[in-house]
Amino acid sequence: MISEGLPRSRVAGLGSTGPVAWARHLTVGYRGRPVWTDANFEIEPGEFVAVIGPNGAGKTTLFRLLLGLLRPAGGELEVFGEAPRRGNPRIGYVPQTHLVDRDTNVEAVQLVRLAFSANRWLPNLTPGQLRSERQATSAALRSVGASEIASKSLGAMSGGELQRIFLAEALVSSPDLLLLDEPLANLDIRRATELVELVHGQVQTRNVATLLVAHDINPLIRHLDKVIYIANGHVATGLPNEVLTSERLSDLYGVPIEVLRDSRGNLVIVGDQDAHQDPAA
Amino acid sequence: MTSFQWVWWNWNIIEDLRYMFQFQFVQDLYAAGTLIAILAGVVSYLVVLRRSSFASHALGHAGFSGAAGAVLFGINPFYGLLVATLASGSGIAVLGQRASHRDVEIGTVLAFMLALGLLFLAFYNGYATEAYSILFGEIVGISPAQVVTTFEWGIPTLVVLLVCYRQLMFASLDEEVADAKGMHTALLGFVFMATLAVAISVAVTVIGVLLIFALTVTPAAIAVRLAKRPWHAILISVGVALLAVWAGSFIAFYESPAPTSFFIVLIVFAIYLVVRALPSLARLRSWVAPASSRRSAAAPTAGAATPAPATPSDSDRA
Q: Within its chain, how far is the Cα of B159 from the centroid?
A: 20
pLDDT confidence of residue A15: 47
Instruction: Report the gap between the CA of A71 and the closest CA in chain B (Å).
Output: 14
A165 touches chain B (CB under 8 A): no
First to last CA, chain A: 32
pLDDT confidence of residue B99: 54
Buried b or exposed e, range B94-113, using 16+ CB within 10 angstroms: eeebebbebeeebeebbeeb
Compute the Cα dihedral for A130, A131, A136, A137 and give only its sign. positive
Evaluate whether B237 touches B45 at the Cβ level (below 8 Å): yes
- Cα gap A106→B220, rounded to integer Å: 13
- Cα gap B207→B133, rounded to integer Å: 9
Report residue B50's pLDDT band, with 50, 70 and 90 as the boundaries: confident
Mean pLDDT of A166-193: 92
Query: ipTM of the predicted structure?
Result: 0.85
Evaluate whether A234 touches A227 at the Cβ level (below 8 Å): no
Higher pLDDT, A151 or B15: A151
A114 touches chain B (CB under 8 A): yes
Higher pLDDT, A71 or A216: A71
What is the pairing mode between strands A177-181 and A209-214? parallel
A125 touches chain B (CB under 8 A): no
pLDDT tens figures, A217-228: 888 888 899 999
pLDDT confidence of residue B5: 46
Query: Taking Cα atoms as reference points, which of A272, A269, A237, A240 lies closest to residue A254?
Result: A272
pLDDT confidence of residue B231: 92
pLDDT confidence of residue B12: 73
Q: Does the structure show a pLDDT above 90 at A141? A: yes
Q: Which amino acid is at A117?
A: S
pLDDT confidence of residue B224: 92
pLDDT tens figures, B193-218: 999 999 999 998 888 888 888 888 99
pLDDT tens figures, B91-116: 888 776 555 566 777 778 788 888 88
Q: Does the structure show a pLDDT above 80 at B289? A: no
Q: Where are the strands (E) in chain B, listed by range?
A: none
Question: Are A106 and B167 a contacting pair at CB < 8 A?
Answer: no
Q: Does the structure show a pLDDT above 50 at B4? A: no
Q: Does the structure show a pLDDT above 60 at A124? A: yes
pLDDT confidence of residue B161: 94
B51 touches chain A (CB under 8 A): yes
Instruction: Report the gap between the CA of A268 and the closest CA in chain B (Å).
Output: 33
Pairs of residues, one from chain A and one from chain B, whose beta carbons lie less than 8 Å apart? 91
pLDDT confidence of residue A95: 93
pLDDT confidence of residue A117: 81
Return the number of other C-beta atoms located less than 10 Å from residue A256's C-beta.
Answer: 12
What is the pairing mode between strands A257-261 and A267-271? antiparallel
Best of A106, A112, A121, A158 to mutate (most B CBs within 10 Å, chain B): A106
Look at residue B308 and give its three-state secondary structure: coil
First to last CA, chain B: 50
- Cα gap A182→A195, rounded to integer Å: 12
Query: Taking Cα atoms as reference points, which of A226, A156, A149, A213 lies closest to residue A181?
Result: A213
Least reliable range by pLDDT among A66-80, A184-198, B48-62: B48-62
CA atoms within 13 A on the CB side of B195: 29
pLDDT confidence of residue B316: 38
Computed over every residue of chain B, the mean pLDDT equals 80
Q: Given 1.20.140.10, 2.60.40.10, 2.40.50.140, 1.10.3470.10, which CATH number is that of B21-288?
A: 1.10.3470.10
Computed over every residue of chain A, the mean pLDDT equals 85
Question: Are B51 and A103 a contacting pair at CB < 8 A?
Answer: yes
Question: Are B173 and A111 a contacting pair at CB < 8 A?
Answer: yes
pLDDT confidence of residue A247: 82
B167 touches chain A (CB under 8 A): yes
Mean pLDDT of B272-300: 68
pLDDT tens figures, B27-39: 888 888 999 999 9
Least reliable range by pLDDT among A101-105, A193-197, B127-131, B141-145: B127-131
Per domain, the residue ranges of chain B are: 21-288
Report residue B296's pLDDT band, with 50, 70 and 90 as the boundaries: very low
Query: Taking Cα atoms as reference points, which of B244, B236, B189 lies closest to residue B45?
Result: B236
Query: Taking Cα atoms as reference points, which of A79, A63, A269 lies closest to residue A183?
Result: A63
Helix runs in B73-125, H state only: 77-95, 103-123
A150 touches chain B (CB under 8 A): no
pLDDT confidence of residue A5: 43
pLDDT confidence of residue A272: 63
Q: Which amino acid is at A52?
A: I
**Phi, psi at B165, each rounded to 5°:** -50, -55
Report residue B308's pLDDT band, with 50, 70 and 90 as the boundaries: very low
Q: Within its chain, how far is the Cα of B26 from the centroid?
A: 22
pLDDT confidence of residue A11: 42
Q: How distant, in Å, are the alpha carbons of A54, A171, A218, A279, B247 from that of A235?
A: 12, 28, 19, 12, 67
pLDDT confidence of residue B98: 58
Least reliable range by pLDDT among A83-92, A244-253, B159-168, B226-235: A244-253
Higher pLDDT, B163 or A8: B163
Higher pLDDT, B202 or A9: B202
Report residue B167's pLDDT band, with 50, 70 and 90 as the boundaries: very high
Kindly report each contact of residues B25-30 with a partner whose C-beta sits within 8 Å and lies 24 or more positions away, as own/partner. Answer: B25/B140, B25/B141, B25/B142, B26/B141, B26/B249, B26/B253, B28/B141, B28/B142, B28/B143, B28/B144, B28/B146, B28/B147, B29/B141, B29/B142, B29/B206, B29/B249, B29/B260, B30/B246, B30/B249
User: What domains are defined for chain A?
Assistant: 1-90+177-281 (3.40.50.300), 99-174 (no CATH)
Greatest mean pLDDT among A148-152, B10-14, B67-71, B305-309 lies in: A148-152
Question: Are A170 and B167 a contacting pair at CB < 8 A?
Answer: no
A129 touches chain B (CB under 8 A): no
Residues of B in contact with A118 (CB under 8 A): 166-167, 170, 177-178, 181, 183
